[in-house]
Amino acid sequence: MSVSVENQSNVEASVRPVPRLDEGAEFKILRCDVAQWEGDWDPAKYDAGIASEILQSHVEDAVEAEKLGFDGVMTTEHHFDGWTLIPSPNVYLSAVAARTSRIRLGQTVQVLPFHSPWRLAEEVGMLDALSGGRAEIGVGKGNFSIEKSRLGLDDASTAARFGEGLKLLTAAMSDSDITHDGEYYQITQPSTVYPRPYPGLRPWVAALSPKSIAAAGAGGHNLMSFMGWGSHEILSTYVEAGEKNGHELSGANFMTNVSIIVAPTEAEAKETQSKAKESAWETMMRRGLPKDEAERFLPRFSGAVVGTPQQVVEQLSHDVGIAGARRLNVIMRLRSIPRQASEQTMRMFAAEVMPELRKL
């Protein structure tokens, strides 16, 4: 496998209007949009009108997030059923871009082995151009085994496709006249992505195992992980691997993800969490996830941090402090949680939690 670059562009890029997420030492906070299907799970009862209403309401949530001071909106990618309604994150983010002017726009994650890396480089270039330089790119191997298996991928082929794809994606976003001769992807003639994103866009790489975390650091990529899946060792492993390979990395390059529920009382928050757990478990079983896998992911989709604003401040401050992450990606709207409850979470979080977290 090789990536070669014949020429570099000498055109001086214009200044981006909004700093990227990995720029600056200040604490940054993002909203993660999952956009889960809220209708009947029987495929025969699918209603396009419901899908339209859900997606439009999430775009409205993103517009509100910008007004409330969030630094960005991230979204997921899933396939084959109603787990989410965003199989193509960049289509959704383009709709958000048209309604916003400041927030960063990215993915947690694009499942890189499912796609042509070249095509993803083109899409992120388009999103960056359409949004005025506000695009981010998050990539990973995919978290649900049932999605990978339906595409005929096992762990070994997924990992191999991801490694090769990340190298090609990174080169395609920044270089010109590229050729690539790999096991899975070939670019036989010198080729250039148009439009390319503003220079210096660094992927956010989802990683959980020490090996994957170290690989992200060694490659000089940003790191994305889940709160509660590790400790301060995540950041130290990542930074040390970066240093050994000539990359200066810090907590500003580390984003941690968590689902939260905020309410005026602890009892109300826990009642909402109980309903979310029941719904998340039901739908993961409906998807056919192995029980051990569903148990591992349940907190992410049912409120891992819940309580009053003060309780959420205390827990997040503790957890973020241990992890060392300076970027926090928050899931607030989940299947079967009334939209009114998720709106309450977002507004209380913005008014009473976010100002305290920014002091970290």
Domain boundaries of the chain, sorted by first residue: 2-9+22-357
pLDDT over 90 at 3, yes or no: no
Q: Distance (Å, rounded) from C-alpha 204 to C-alpha 212?
A: 13
pLDDT over 60 at 8, yes or no: no
Structure tokens at 102: 């400041």
pLDDT over 50 at 7, yes or no: no
> pLDDT tens digit string along 264-323?
999 999 999 999 999 999 999 999 999 999 998 898 888 999 999 999 999 999 999 889
Q: What is the biggest distance separating any 2 CA atoms in the chain, rounded to whole angstroms?
A: 62
Structure tokens at 188: 């036989």
Other Cβ atoms within 10 Å of 43 Cβ, number: 8
Q: Give the pLDDT confidence score for residue 5 in this predicted structure.
A: 52
Q: Distance (Å, rounded) from C-alpha 54 to C-alpha 74?
A: 16
Read off the pLDDT of each residue in 42-51 and give the average, rounded to a whole number: 95
pLDDT over 70 at 92, yes or no: yes
Spell out the alpha helix ranges (H) of 73-209: 89-99, 117-130, 145-150, 155-174
pLDDT over 50 at 10, yes or no: no
* CATH entry, 2-9+22-357, from 3.40.50.300, 3.20.20.30, 1.10.340.30, 3.40.50.800: 3.20.20.30
Instruction: Indicate the average pLDDT of the chain.
Output: 92
Read off the pLDDT of each residue in 224-239 and give the average, rounded to a whole number: 81
The whole-model pTM stands at: 0.93
Distances (CA, A) of 332 to 263, 272, 340: 12, 11, 11
Q: Where are the beta strands (DSSP E) in 60-99?
A: 72-75
What angle do helix axes 155-174 and 117-130 make, rounded to 10 degrees?
A: 50
pLDDT over 70 at 232, yes or no: no
Read off the pLDDT of each residue in 88-116 and give the average, rounded to a whole number: 97
pLDDT over 90 at 347, yes or no: yes
Q: Say whether the peptide bond before residue 73 is cis (omega within 30 degrees of 0).
A: no
